[in-house]
């Protein structure tokens, strides 16, 4: 991959001299800035954000044998989890966690239990970069594929062609029906449903769409529709 093709990574200057950034530079165009939160890497093209800590730097004090997470770190993570979507906290554990480090991690898990932010425990810098790279590239590729599908669908007026396009990316009939019902407007949902019922000979059995609309789940399943698909058809006509 040439540098021009590399996706950008916005890295806070607190990580500028870390081995992580050197490893990231093999797959990303790095832009170091002081404008973002400390310890963060943001991948705008994938809408993903990561905040990275070493486990041995999470706690600053304790009471007896119990470690307490540094309050500044808690505040930083709280801001990160609220300001950024698709947020991930990565904690680098090294070879083996000490008891105080495990206590600190447990406190963070409990503190952010209801947050949409996800926590990842990884051993080393290389593991961190590999995971971020995989997630970013996978998200970008999935988005490109979805955009290509939508463009192809928008250009096509033939429902059979639409089904062929979606089948080519590995979707089965049920997945295609769900995808079209979720993504597109009522008219396309209607034509999609008719084509789907025709292809499974449900319309041949019942004769008209009106008759299909009056059928119950078991009757549709008797026409070789799965329970999930039959339920979707019932739901379609009920709305």
Assess contact for 55 and 16: CB atoms under 8 A.
Answer: no
Q: Name the average pLDDT for the chain.
A: 77
pLDDT for position 186: 40
| pTM over cut 0.75 | no
pLDDT for position 178: 59
For the chain, which domains are there?
3-141 (3.40.50.10130), 157-238 (no CATH)
Ordered DSSP codes for 68-120 = EE-HHHHHHHHHHHHH-SSEEEEEE--SS--HHHHHHHHHHHHHTTTSS-EEE
pLDDT digits (tens, 9 = 90+) for 167-212: 666 666 656 665 655 555 444 445 455 545 554 555 555 555 556 6
pLDDT for position 47: 87
d(CA 70, CA 80): 16
pLDDT digits (tens, 9 = 90+) for 36-74: 999 999 998 888 999 999 998 888 765 555 668 888 999
């Amino acid at each position: 991959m040439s540098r021009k093709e590399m996706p950008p990574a916005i890295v806070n200057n607190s990580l500028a001299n870390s081995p992580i950034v050197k490893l990231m530079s093999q797959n990303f165009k790095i832009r170091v800035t002081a404008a973002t939160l400390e310890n963060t890497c943001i991948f705008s093209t994938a809408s993903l954000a990561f905040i990275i800590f070493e486990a041995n730097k999470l706690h600053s004090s304790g009471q007896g044998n119990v470690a307490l997470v540094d309050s500044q770190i808690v505040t930083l993570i709280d801001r990160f989890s609220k300001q950024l979507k698709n947020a991930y906290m990565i904690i680098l554990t090294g070879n083996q966690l000490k008891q105080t480090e495990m206590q600190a991690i447990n406190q963070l898990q409990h503190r952010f239990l209801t947050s949409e932010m996800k926590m990842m425990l990884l051993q080393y810098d290389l593991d961190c970069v590999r995971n971020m790279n995989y997630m970013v590239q996978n998200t970008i590729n999935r988005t490109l594929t979805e955009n290509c599908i939508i463009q192809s669908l928008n250009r096509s007026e033939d429902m059979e062609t639409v089904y062929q396009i979606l089948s080519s990316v590995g979707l089965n009939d049920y997945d295609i029906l769900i995808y079209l019902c979720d993504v597109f407007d009522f008219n396309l949902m209607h034509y999609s449903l008719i084509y789907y019922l025709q292809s499974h000979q449900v319309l041949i059995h019942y004769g008209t769409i009106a008759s299909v609309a009056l059928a119950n789940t078991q009757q549709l399943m008797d026409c070789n529709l799965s329970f999930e698909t039959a339920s979707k058809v019932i739901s379609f006509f009920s709305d």
